[in-house]
Chain A
Amino acid sequence: MPPQHLTIALAGNPNSGKTSIFNNLTGTRQKVGNWPGVTVEKKEGHITRSGHDLTIVDLPGTYSLTPFSIEEVVARNFLLDERPDVVIDIIDASNLERSLYLATQIRELDCKVLFALNMADMARARGTKIDGRKLSELLDIPVVFTVGNRNEGMDELLEQAIRLAESTAPPDRTRRVKYSADIEEAIGRLAFFMESKIDGSLPYLPRWVAVKLLEDDAIVQERLIAAAPDAGRQILQAAQALRKHLADRFDEDPQIVMTDERYGFIAGIVREVQTSTTQQRVDISRSIDLVLTHRLAGFPIFIFFIWAMFQLTFTLGEYPVKWIEAGVELTSGASAALMPEGILKSLVVDGIIAGVGSVIVFMPNILILFFCIALFEDTGYMARSAFLMDKIMHLIGLHGKSFIPMLMGFGCNVPAIMAARTLESEKDRILTILITPFMSCSAKLPVYVVLAGAFFGARAGTVIFGLYLLGIALSILTGRLFRSTLLKGADAPFVMELPPYRMPMAKSLLIHMWDRSQLFLRKMGKVILLGSVIIWALSSFPREVPIPGEEAAWSRQTAAAAGAGNPAAAVAQTKGAEDGSAETADEIRRMQKTKQTENSYIGRLGRFVEPLFAPLGIDWRGGVSLISGFVAKEIVVSTMGVLHATGNGEEEDALGNALAASGMTALSALSMMVFVLLYLPCLATTAAIRRETGSYRWMFFSIGYSTTVAWVAAFLVFQGGRLLGFS
């Protein structure tokens, strides 16, 4: 007999222990991706058990199947459209009532359901006993006792699931939620009307559709219209009339009444199956919380944890980053030595290796960061950090959970934007993603160091600090602006569970960390590789470089051409060229590189956009450097180094002097720093934005918005400064 294939879906509340059960069932044979079209993680595992191929799908953790959040929509659509053979609903024994709310909704969908009554031992220790047999009897659902974090009950769970999938008996439809007489009558009438209008073209249970229409469920309404446009409209009208009738009858929205009644039904079951001996529990979790969210100690402890996370991510991460950098350099050097001179070599060394290298150097930071975030999430501290910070973040129109991603932005925007995943509301997530790039990342620091160091001397530190503050101020303004315009609408309510503190499990932490990092590598790698190759091509073509002999003549020509517009730059160039002819071969090569870059497409692009940068006091070389900074912000410095022929920008003083000689002033340096602070995010960040918002639209919006803000701010700095008499 060929192995039979079964799909088993795992449903349950957040913090119900669903993840550990999923990990136990599937081990490391997991496939992580995203649900189609949204950025909710989809986890799947394949195992074989007693002659069956089992696909186990981990549905997002939700409290209900009312389609408000993306997670709920995803979970419900999977149950509706994919029709899994069995749904294992994980019931948190310590939260029986709330767990049963989701269970009743799954039950209404007419799925084959199996309960995993999880952590009953913990509940018993707290004085709550649950009669599993009675629960099974009352709802006609098989119940298996499990302890997820001790791997108990997993075999029985799978056995029961297979048995249930193979049973041909239809699910019992009598032991489901009974609403009050008025609502039952409305459901009955609507279901009957529906069956008389449409037969069979709607693949859902008529009773369920009727319930959802009475609850004014927009998605079900759409599907109904799509399935049967004419009859659908009539049914919707009938549903509206019934809703109106019920609203008058109860003096309340029908959906509110129905939620109340579901809880009433559940309360009846809970009374039958649960016996509690203690009312007010005193447990370790509460004691821990008394310290961690203490009125006075709470914030200092929080700041310490954040500091520790930062240190781990960017200081400890620094070592492996250095090794990887060395590895990339080694590879690059080896390829350079092995490959014949020419375009292919340049593509491999300067394009592909440099591009891929720029991604994998993030890897240690990302692994460590995700490990810390997994630790925060698995222990339950993440919810507390949101609890602490919500008041402050709410002033910007954000959620308490936005704080961590924004803070991480000071290190690197890529993991920061990925950390925004912890936000449940899509609007909060997008807003957080849009303002995170204003947090000045560590790659921008070298640019500030060079420019502020050269033009502000002893005041450089103050200037750099001011830039960071400007970034924060603009993120707050942007937050408030977008909250009241683009991402308007009701604030996602801050109804958030504060789960009990739990000891994290190493296996779960590692799986968590690895899944997310892998996702980063796989998806971002492609975009970054492509982007790096494009930038490489722009700066490498055309390849004709004036040979040294012609150089002086060429240079004089340029000087003459540029003479009228920018005497200082022309002087610097001529001077450079004359020096070049007298200096070493190294110097000549450097000059060649300068000329080639000037002459490349990206150089021409710099000339082309020069008028745009002129009002900001930035010359074409600044423009080219800024454009090349799209690959990674630290490249701004090395490109300026190449264009001003001072080597690789290693000698900061040399570059500073060259910049001053080229006509840059303190004011134009400030303008350029402001521009660097605010303008378009780097390639890796852009790819992260595309990925995490799930749309090119938001990516281009972010690019356009930040660059516009940067231009305006730099314009105000430069022109305003000039008006005030600075130079």
Chain B
Amino acid sequence: MRLSELKEGQTATVVRVGGNGLLRRRIQEMGLVKGTDLYVEKYAPLKDPMELVLKGFHISLRVEEAADIVVENVR
């Protein structure tokens, strides 16, 4: 499942970070690596970008960027 398909309040585990080189590297360096648990805090009022909680901090990600991240174990 893609990260962008998650709803507010759901948690999932990262399987794969795709996308172009720069974006991937950036996302990874922020700590969004394979095996990380993500919690979808909310979407912005205009439904884009989204806010995620991982490892105790909050980051925002555009929905199109989140579409390149594959997650599993959605709960």
A residues with a Cβ closer than 8 A to B are 63-64, 66, 68, 94-95, 97-98, 101, 128, 253, 255-256, 259-260, 263, 280-281, 286, 293-296, 298-299, 383, 386-388, 390-392, 394, 400, 490, 493-500
* 27 pairs, A vs B, C-beta closer than 8 Å: A66-B25, A94-B57, A95-B55, A95-B56, A253-B21, A255-B25, A256-B25, A256-B28, A259-B25, A281-B56, A386-B60, A387-B49, A387-B51, A390-B62, A391-B46, A391-B49, A394-B48, A493-B26, A493-B61, A495-B27, A495-B59, A495-B60, A495-B65, A496-B59, A497-B59, A498-B59, A499-B57
Contact (Cβ within 8 A) B47 A391: yes
* Closest beta carbon of chain A to B66's beta carbon, Å: 10
B residues with a Cβ closer than 8 A to A are 17, 20-31, 33-34, 39, 41-42, 44-49, 51, 55-62, 65
Q: Which of chain A's residues have a CB closer than 8 A to the CB of B26?
A: 68, 493, 495
Q: Which of chain B's residues have a CB closer than 8 A to the CB of A260?
A: 28, 33-34
Contact (Cβ within 8 A) B49 A392: no
Contact (Cβ within 8 A) A95 B29: no
Known: A68-B26, A97-B31, A298-B44. 4 other contacts (CB 8 A): A66-B29, A298-B45, A495-B60, A495-B61
A453 to B45, CA, bound (A): 41
A93 to B30, CA, bound (A): 16
A394 to B31, CA, bound (A): 25
Known: A253-B21, A494-B61. A101 touches B45 (CB 8 A): no
Known: A296-B45, A490-B22. A95 touches B57 (CB 8 A): yes
Q: Which of chain B's residues have a CB closer than 8 A to the CB of A256?
A: 17, 24-25, 28
Contact (Cβ within 8 A) A259 B28: yes
Contact (Cβ within 8 A) B22 A98: no
- Kindly report which residue of chain B lies nearest to residue A302, judged by CB atoms: B45
Known: A253-B21, A495-B59, A497-B57. A388 touches B65 (CB 8 A): no
A631 to B4, CA, bound (A): 50
- Kindly report which residue of chain A lies nearest to residue B48, judged by CB atoms: A391
Contact (Cβ within 8 A) B65 A390: no
Contact (Cβ within 8 A) B33 A495: no
Contact (Cβ within 8 A) A63 B62: no
Known: A94-B57, A98-B55, A496-B59. A63 touches B48 (CB 8 A): no
Contact (Cβ within 8 A) A494 B22: no
Contact (Cβ within 8 A) B60 A259: no
- Kindly report which residue of chain A lies nearest to residue B21, judged by CB atoms: A253
Contact (Cβ within 8 A) B65 A494: yes
Q: Which of chain B's residues have a CB closer than 8 A to the CB of A97?
A: 31, 55-56
